[in-house]
Structure 1
């Protein structure tokens, strides 16, 4: 008697294929942790994780990394320009106050 290996209806895919699918479609992982004593909430932690490609995130309207000064040089430059303008305005005020009559 010869033994045959069982076949699966789902083809095995590599890790790269799975990662490509997840990044293309996106995946959401959500969970809540709640600590209670005698029906009194002491701590609630809500965890929301979205894994997708940058293109998919922007398609969904998520682009917070573009405004984060630690992640975006454009955002950092914008913040520095605002600080520069504020300092110039303060300097002009001080110079106007300190001018002799």
Structure 2
């Protein structure tokens, strides 16, 4: 005799909705997991590792003042453009400085 096995409600049709609700709540409110790892030898601290994990939506992170991805050239094309513009400006200033040193001193010939 065989009976149809039924999964508990936690794994049934409503599990997807429950997981979505939990995920939405976590992203909306945010969650922080923090921990420190310290390695000591004879009361001498050799290594300290501080771990911080924040799980939140982008909107919530910005609301908390966390927006490092906007200034990271590896993650933001706008940040990369700003970085390139700043580098270009520095190089142009350096070229101007070098040209002003190498310009003629008034006798019509360039100085070496």
Aligned to 1:56: 60
Paired residue for 1:42, among 41, 46, 49?
46
* Backbone CA RMSD of aligned residues: 1.9
The corresponding residue for 1:15 is: 19
TM-score, normalised via structure 1 length: 0.81
Q: How does 1:1-101 map to 2 (within 5 A)?
A: 14-101=18-105
Structure 2: gaps spanning 5 or more residues: 1-13, 106-112
TM-score by length of 2: 0.73
Where do 5+ consecutive residues of structure 1 fail to align?
1-10
**Partner SS for 2:101:** helix
Give the structure with higher Rg (CA). Answer: 2
Shift of 1:15: 2.0
CA distance in 1, matches of 2:31, 2:62: 15
Q: When the two structures are aligned, how many residues end up with a matched partner? A: 92
Structure 1 segments (4+ residues) deviating >4 Å: none
Q: Matched residues in 2 for 1:40 and 1:92: separation?
A: 53
- Inter-partner Cα distance in structure 2 for 1:29 and 1:58: 18
